A and B are shown apart, each in its own frame.
Chain A
C-alpha cells in the first residue's frame, strides 16, 4: 500500500491522537477491534464514487470538511436534549434520548424494562453483560468494501445497547431519539448493539433530529441479532436539516424462523445514506426491508440494501419508494444474493420513484445474484410520473387535478407507511407525508433549526 491519501490520513491522525481517550471508557473487548479496523480503513479509505455501492453518492462535501469535534460532548449541552419532546402524539414508548451519540444523563445509563429487557449505554452494558457482548459485538458488521464501517469500529466510543431475553414479548415499542446539537460542527460516530434472544418480540423506533444549524455528520453502525423464532421490527424516521449528513449501516443477523423488518423513512436531510444488510442465517427466516424518501431542494437520499440468502427456504421482500422534488437526487441500490445451497428461496425487490421537476434525478440499481436453481426471484424498478389514466379517472369523478395528484402521491407513499405496525406512528407518518406533499411542511416539523 502506498502512502495514504490526504483524506484517509486525516482520519488516521484523528484516530492516533485520540485513541487513548476513546479507549478509556470502552471495555477491553470492544477496544480489541480497533487496531485491525483502522488498518482496514487505511486500506479502503473513505468511499468514493468509484466504489460500486457508492456510485451515485458523493460524500466529499462532508468528509472534506474540517469538523471541530468528534468525541464526547460537554455536559452543558445536555440540558436542551433533556427538554426535547417527541411530537408523535399518543406514542407510548420506552424512550431513550441520545445526544451526539452519547447519553446525556449521568444516572440511569442502563435500565431495566418489564420482562428483563435492558436498554442503555453500550459502555455501561459492557460491564454487566460482558459475555453477551463478546458473543455478538463485531460479529455481524462485516463489510469488506466499506471503509466507513471500519472507521466506526475503530473510533466509535458509545451507543445504545438493547438486550431482550428469551420468550419476552414487549408490547410497547422502544424509542431511541438521536439528537445532534452543538455550537460547533460535529462528526459523530456511534455504535449500537441489539440482541434479541429466542422467541422474543420487540419493536424499535429510531428518530433522528438536529437541534442546531451547524454542519453535522453522523456515521452510525447498528448490529442486530435476531434469535430463533423471534420477531423484530426497526423503524427509522429521519428528519434532519439540510446541512446534516447521516450515514447509517444496519446489520441484521437472523436465525431460523425469525422475522425481521426494517423501515427507513427519510423526511428530510442534507445527505442521507442508509445501508441495510439482512443476513438470513437459518432456514425459514423472513426479512422485510422498506424505505420511503421524500426529498426536495438539494437533498440527496441513497438507500443500499443487501439481502444475503445463506440458507434454504427463506423469504425476503424489499420495497422502496420515493418522491423527488426541486433539485433533489435519489439513489437506490438493492442486492439479492442467493448462495449455492439456498434452495427454495423467494425474493422480491421493488423500487419506484416519482420525479416532480426537471432538475430532480434518480439513479437506481436493483441487482440479483443467484447461485441456486430452485428459486423464485424477481425485481422491478420504475422511474416516472403519476399515472395519467389514474389522474383522469379521478378527475372524471369530479376531483380537481391538484387534489387528484395529491391523492395519488399519498397512495404511492402509503404503500410503504402501511407496513409500520405501531399505529400512532403510522398515523403521524401519514400526516407528515400529506403535509409534506401539500407543501405545508417546507421545513421539518418540530425542527428548531431554521435552515430554510
Chain B
C-alpha cells in the first residue's frame, strides 16, 4: 500500500509542463547588460516622452543604491544583472491593425496556448492583451470596449494616447522606491497592460493579459496599471507561461490597481511559468510586486491567485484599505513540487474606518518543494471597526517538502477584530481509506481531497479559469498522494 502510494505520488508529481515549447520568431533584441544607457535605449525604442525617461532614470539610480532583499525564506542563486537581455520583442512590421498582420508563427504560439486572439471565434469571450517577451502583441476587443468608454490597451499605447491618465496614476501605489525588484522594473519595464474603467461602467467582459516569455536570456519586466473609477466594476485575468530552458529567467513585474468610490476590481492570476525540471534546473524567478489601493469609500479589491509555476515565487499581492468601508480579499492556492520554492502571501493595511479584509491561503507542498505563507495584517490607529479574518492551511505530500507560515499581525486600534488561523497536516490515511473503501483509487482519492481542499479558492475564479486551474492542479500534483 505504502509503495503504491509512493508510486502514485511520484507519478502525480512528475506531470509534464506542457507549455515548454519555443516559438521561432524573429526577435529584436538589445545586447545583454544593464546600465543607464540601456535604460535610455529602451525608452528611445519605445518613443517615450521625457517625463517617462526621467521616471526610469530616477528609478534606475535608486535601484543602484539598493541591495537584493534576503529576508524571504528562499534560497535564491545570485542573479547577474549584466547577463540578462532587458529588451526583446517580436520584430514588428509597423503596427498590427488586424489579426492577419500578425506573424503566423506568433499566432500559432498563442493558439497553442489556447489564447483567443481571434475575436470572431470568441464573440462572448474575453478581451485579451497578449504580451510576448517584452512587448504587447495584440489587444483584442479594443473597439468594443471603447464603446462603453473603457480603455484597455498596451502600456506603451497608453503612454502615447492617454499620457495624462498614466502620469496621474503610475507609481502612486507602487512607487519606484518601493523595493529592489519594483525599482528594477520601474527602470526597465518594457510594456504591459493599461486599463481604465470610467465612472459607472460595469465592464461587459472579462479582461485578460497573457504573458509569455519566449526568447532566451531575457528578463520580462512588465507593468500593469488598472484604474477603476467611481461605481465601476471589472474582472481581470492574468496568465503566464514560458519555454523550458536550463537557465533561470527573471520575471519582475508590477501590478498597480486603484479603486475609487464604490468601485470593485477582481484580479485573478493563474501563474504557470516554467517551474524547472525535476532536478531543479532552470525555471523562472518570479519576483512580482502587486498592490491595490482602495482609495474610495466602499471600494473593493479582490486578489485570487493560483500559483503552480516558477522555480522561485516571491509575491505578495496587497491591499491598502484607505477608503472607509473598503474591502480587501486575498485567495491563494500555491503549489510547489520538485525543487520549487514559494514565499507568497499578502498585506492588508487597514487605514479607513470599518474596513474589512479576508485572507484564505492554501499551500500544497510536494516533492522537495518549500512553500511559505508570509502575510501582514496591519490596523492603523484611526481604522475604527477594522475586521480581518485570515486562514492559511498547508498540505504536505511527501516527507521531503516543507510548509511554513509567517503571519505578522499589528493592531493599533482597540475596536479592531483580527483573527488568524493556520493548520499544517498531510492527507490522512483515514481519508484515503474512506475513499478506497468506496471504490475510488488512491490517486483519485488524492485528487479529490486536494481539489476539495483548494475549492474555496478556485471557486473565486471566473469560470474559464477555474477549469484551467483545476486541470493545472491535477497536472502539478499528479501522483503526489501520501
The residues of A with any CB-CB pair to B shorter than 8 Å are 52, 56, 340, 343, 353, 355-358, 360-385
Chain A nearest Cβ from B32, distance in angstroms: 34
The answer to whether residues A385 and B425 also contact, given A367-B404, A372-B399, A374-B399 and a CB cut-off of 8 A, is: no
Q: Which of A361, A373, A374 contacts B401 (CB 8 A)?
A: A373
Contact between B417 and A370 (Cβ–Cβ < 8 Å)?
no
Q: Which residue of chain A has the shortest Cβ distance to B389 in the bound complex?
A: A382
Let me know if A363 and B398 touch, CB within 8 A: no
Q: In the complex, are the beta carbons of A358 and B413 less than 8 A apart?
A: yes
Tell me the complex Cα distance, A373–B400, Å. Answer: 8
A343 touches B396 (CB 8 A): no
**CB contact between B394 and one of A365, A370, A380, A384 (< 8 Å): that residue:** A370
Q: For residue A357, which residues in chain B have a CB less than 8 angstroms away from its CB? A: 414
Q: Which residues of chain B have a CB within 8 Å of any CB of chain A?
A: 71, 73, 381, 394, 396-426, 482
Provide the residues of chain B in CB contact with A361, threshold 8 Å: 410-412
Q: How far is the CA of A356 from the CA of B381 in the complex (A)?
A: 13
The smallest C-beta distance from A384 to any residue of chain B, in angstroms, reads 4
Q: Classify the secondary structure of A's interface with B.
A: strand
Question: Once the chains bind, are A365 and B409 in contact (CB under 8 Å)?
Answer: yes
Cβ of B405 and Cβ of A373 under 8 Å apart? no
CB distance from A401 to the nearest CB of B (A): 17
Instruction: Report the nearest A residue to B366, measured CB to CB.
Output: A373
New A-B pairs, 14, CB < 8 Å, besides A367-B405, A372-B396? A355-B414, A355-B416, A363-B411, A367-B404, A370-B403, A376-B423, A376-B424, A378-B424, A379-B422, A380-B421, A381-B420, A383-B416, A384-B418, A385-B414
6 A-B pairs with C-beta separation under 8 A: A355-B414, A356-B414, A363-B411, A369-B405, A381-B419, A383-B417
Ordered nearest first, which 10 A-B pairs have the shortest CB separation? A373-B396, A384-B417, A355-B414, A378-B423, A368-B405, A383-B411, A381-B420, A377-B424, A371-B402, A383-B418
Nearest residue in A to B425 (C-beta to C-beta)? A376
What distance in Å separates the Cβ of B339 from its nearest Cβ neighbour in chain A?
14
Q: Are B422 and A380 within 8 A (Cβ)?
A: yes
A358-B381, A377-B424 known; A370+B414 contact, CB < 8 A: no
User: In the complex, which residues of chain B have a beta carbon less than 8 angstroms from the beta carbon of A343?
Assistant: 399
Does the CB pair A377–B425 fall under 8 Å?
A: yes
Nearest chain A CB to B236 CB, angstrom units: 32
Report which of B414, B415, B421, B424 forms a contact with A375, defined as CB distance below 8 A.
Answer: B424
Bound-state CA distance A373–B419 (Å) is 26
Residues of B within 8 A of A353 (CB): 411
B409–A364 CB distance below 8 A: yes
Complex Cα gap A371–B368 (Å): 10
Bound form: Cα–Cα A362–B394 in Å: 26
Check B411–A355 contact: CB distance below 8 A.
Answer: yes
**Chain A residues in 8 Å Cβ range of B416:** 355, 383-384
In Å, the complex CA distance between A379 and B406 comes to 11
List chain B residues, Cβ under 8 A from A340. Answer: 399-400
A353, B412: Cα distance in complex, Å: 12
Closest approach, in angstroms, between the C-beta of B467 and any C-beta of chain A?
29
Check B419 against A380 for contact (C-beta < 8 Å): yes
Q: A425 → chain B, closest Cβ, in Å?
A: 31
Instruction: List chain A residues, Cβ under 8 A from B404.
Output: 367-370
CB neighbours (8 Å) of A370 from chain B are 394, 396, 402-404, 424
A356-B414, A361-B411, A383-B418 are contacts. A367–B406 as well, Cβ < 8 Å?
Answer: yes
Query: Which residues of A have CB within 8 Å of B396?
Result: 370, 372-373, 375
- Residues of chain A within 8 A (CB-CB) of B403 are 368, 370
B381, B397, B410: the one contacting A373 at CB < 8 Å is B397
Q: A382-B420, A383-B411 are in contact. Are A365 and B399 (CB under 8 A)?
A: no
Q: Are A363 and B408 in contact (CB under 8 A)?
A: yes
Closest Cβ–Cβ distance, residue B402 to chain A (whole Å): 4
- Whether A365 and B408, one on each chain, are in contact in the complex, defined by CB atoms closer than 8 angstroms, is yes
Question: Taking each of B381, B397, B405, B411, which has the highest tally of chain A beta carbons within 10 Å of its own beta carbon?
Answer: B411
- Bound CA–CA A376/B428 (angstroms): 10
Could you tell me the distance between the alpha carbons of A366 and B418 in the complex, rounded to whole angstroms?
A: 13
**Minimum Cβ distance to chain A for residue B101 (Å):** 53
Closest approach, in angstroms, between the C-beta of A244 and any C-beta of chain B? 25
Q: Which among A56, A360, A366, A377 is the interface contact of B423 at CB below 8 angstroms?
A: A377
CA distance A368 to B405 in the complex (A): 5
Q: Report whether B407 and A366 are in contact in the complex, using a CB–CB cutoff of 8 Å.
A: yes
Query: Complex formed: what's the CA distance from A360 to B397 in Å?
Result: 42
**Minimum CB distance partner of B376 in chain A:** A365
User: In the assembly, what is the distance between CA of A374 and CA of B416, in Å?
Assistant: 36
Instruction: Let me know if A382 and B397 touch, CB within 8 A.
Output: no
Residues of B within 8 A of A384 (CB): 416-419
A178 CA to B411 CA, complexed, in Å: 33
Which residues of B lie under 8 Å from residue A363 when comparing CB positions?
408-411
Residues from chain A with a CB closer than 8 A to the CB of B425 are 375-377
Residue of A nearest to B421 (CB): A380
- CB neighbours (8 Å) of A378 from chain B are 421-424
Q: Which residues of B contact A377 (CB under 8 A)?
A: 423-425
> Is the Cβ of B426 less than 8 Å from the Cβ of A374?
yes
Name the distance in Å between A99's Cβ and chain B's nearest Cβ: 39
Chain B, Cβ-Cβ closest to A373: B396
Task: Please give the distance in Å from A350's CB to the nearest CB on chain B.
Answer: 10
Contact A360 B414 (CB under 8 A): yes
Q: Are B424 and A385 in contact (CB under 8 A)?
A: no
**Nearest chain A CB to B157 CB, angstrom units:** 43
Complex Cα gap A94–B78 (Å):
59
Beta-carbon nearest neighbor of A333 in chain B: B408
Residue of A whose beta carbon sits closest to that of B401 = A373
The distance in angstroms between the C-alpha atoms of A367 and B406, with both chains bound, is 5
List of B residues within 8 angstroms of A385 by Cβ? 414-415, 417
Contacts of B415 in A (CB 8 A): 358, 385
